[in-house]
Amino acid sequence: MEYETKCPECDGPNATDAKICRWCNTDLRVLPLVTSAAQAEPLVPPSPRPSARASRLPSASLAQAFDARMHASEESRITVAEPLPGAEGLARVPTHVKGLDDLLGGGFPEGSVVLIEGGPGTMKSSLALWVLAHNAANAARRGVYLSFEQSAGSLFQQMTSLGVPLKDASDRLVIADPAQLAHAVRGGRQDWLDALRRIVEPLCKNGLSLLVLDSLESLDGLVRFRERPHELLRLFEWLRELGLTSMIIAEHSDTAVGSRDAGVVHEEDFLADGIIQVRLQPVGEDDVHRRLRIRKMRGVRHETDDLAFRVRSGQLEVATLSGQLSEKVPLPPPPPP
């Protein structure tokens, strides 16, 4: 199977006759390229053809080739993360999720842009809020939550239900009003990214270090991206220029192996520094368990298998699946008559 032209700067796929990379605008005419399977190093075995639903996106085999250096080799399948050569001094932002920071070698690399992907009800927003609030409470890191759907009251209620320490975190958190945020990015002749700049960049002068955007699909629905790859590139480049550690929530369907959307690759997957996928997994006839997978994290060797993702006594935690089914929390005894 013939490869498309692969950009040596960002690894994004392009048409074989492309002159400029559609992802990072690199001039492909003056750089060495990988254009065919014969020239390319065989990183991964060939995969089945993607579904028709994924036909407008890069093929699953290209996505595997892109991410092979990150997590597909047997060498990387370890329980505790190890830094890659040259990354020993990489600063980390802890997630404060029990078990997850050990798997990431201390947390998200500082300044990275991390996608939190999953379907409805998978606790994407809760995970992002958890990271934001616990860093505000425990490390005095200032954060902003840009929500295009949920109000501040709804998000605070969500944090309270999770046991997030609001008393210690609230003075270092900014939650944008969704109505005003939506009006800013789609109103008048102002460019949507300029509108976000006017909201976020003044906060950077006060020590802002963490940002959550909820969600990518809501932003796209409001501003109606005409050239999605170009608009996404602008967003990711801006976040990296700010130097913030950013979490972008993406409403993606189930990505479990064997599901109908397992081969779908999204443009933002190539641009992100890290991808955390969360989903709901039916177990038996009656149970549904949450699963988390670290699909990608640049600069870190990490676990790539599915992990159990649970809420217990005001604590988010992840654990390997071995023995997980026997750890079901027992029901409390019935009250005495």
* Statement: residue 246 has pLDDT above 90: yes
Cβ pair 311, 164 in contact under 8 A: no
Cα distance between residue 158 and residue 138, in whole Å: 19
Mean pLDDT of all residues in 185-206 = 89
pLDDT in the model for residue 93? 96
In our burial notation (b when 16+ CB lie closer than 10 A, e otherwise), range 269-298 reads bbbbbbbbbbbbeeeeeeeebbbbbbbbbb
Q: What is the DSSP string of 219-236?
A: HHHHH--SSHHHHHHHHH
Instruction: Please give the Cα distance from 329 to 310 (Å, whole number).
Output: 11
- pTM for this predicted structure: 0.69
CA distance 275 to 75: 19
Q: For 59-97, what is each residue's pLDDT tens digit? A: 444 444 434 434 433 333 334 455 544 445 679 999 999
Please indicate whether residue 3 or residue 318 has the higher confidence score (pLDDT).
318
Backbone phi and psi for residue 58, each to the nearest 5 degrees, phi listed first: -55, 145
Confidence band for 154, pLDDT divided at 50, 70 and 90: confident
Closest C-alpha among 314, 305, 303, 308 to residue 327 = 308
Least confident of 125-139, 241-255, 312-326: 312-326
Let me know: does 280 contact 288? Beta carbons within 8 Å: yes
Q: In the chain, where are the structural domains located? A: 1-42, 46-324
User: Which phi and psi angles does 216 have, rounded to 5°?
Assistant: -65, -40
Domain boundaries 46-324, corresponding CATH code = 3.40.50.300
Give residue-wise pLDDT tens across range 295-312: 999 988 888 889 999 988
Q: Note the pLDDT of residue 38.
A: 33
Nearest one of 245, 189, 247, 249 to 219, comparing CA atoms? 249
Which amino acid, one-letter code, is at 243? G
Query: What is the gyration radius of the CA atoms in the chain, in angstroms?
Result: 21
CB atoms within 10 A of CB 208: 20
Residue 47: per-residue pLDDT? 40
Q: What is the pLDDT of residue 211?
A: 98
| DSSP symbols for 18-78 | -SB-TTT--BTTSS--B-STTTS---S---PPPPGGGTTS--HHHHHHHHIIIIISGGG--
